[in-house]
Amino acid sequence: MSTGGMRPIADTAGQQLIWAQPSPTIREHELRAGEALVATLSFERGTLANAEADAGSWTFKREGFWHPHVTVRVPGDETNIAVFRARTGGAGELVFSDGHVFRLASTNPMHSEWVWQQEDQLLVRFQGRRGVIKASGTVDVEPAAVALPELALLVVLGWYLILLHAQDAVTAANGAIVASRVAVIR
């Protein structure tokens, strides 16, 4: 898909954007402002995903077991333009190659709301709803974020990280159920 036909995320400040998964059987997500397509996120295999917005295209991939991190690259390039270093609970820091940093954190224990911040400035707020069949959520871009060249990347990477966190939570819960059943059988 060409990014040329997408509406710029910076033009949507003050509007609520909606991430939706059009098909429950395909790991593809679309961000829309009303009917206008703003960005896409599609998983190729495992945690490798492609993201597109008017401002550019990126690939995301989670790597590492003991020290998990997510690489951000331009498609076809092996150089990281940024790395997200995860901390407990899915929060973490996105560090760019020039050293500037953005922080992602959940604002509540249920992990239903997440925010990107730089220092103490709120930039982007996500409210996710993980359905039984499909994932969806809203995005609010704060006026302070409109001029950021990284805005589109923050919006698509944020959704990617939220989806990974939700997937990890389901996996952990399923593992706990299996472990408890094994304990009962013994």
Q: How far is CA 149 from CA 18, 34, 146, in A?
A: 21, 23, 8
Where is mean pLDDT largest: 1-15, 71-85, 110-124? Answer: 71-85
Sequence ranges of the domains in the chain: 3-185
State the average pLDDT over residues 131-153. Answer: 87
Output the pLDDT for position 167. Answer: 78
- List, for residues 7-56, the tens digit of each pLDDT value: 999 998 888 899 999 988 889 999 999 999 999 999 999 999 999 999 99
Decide if pLDDT at 112 tops 70.
yes
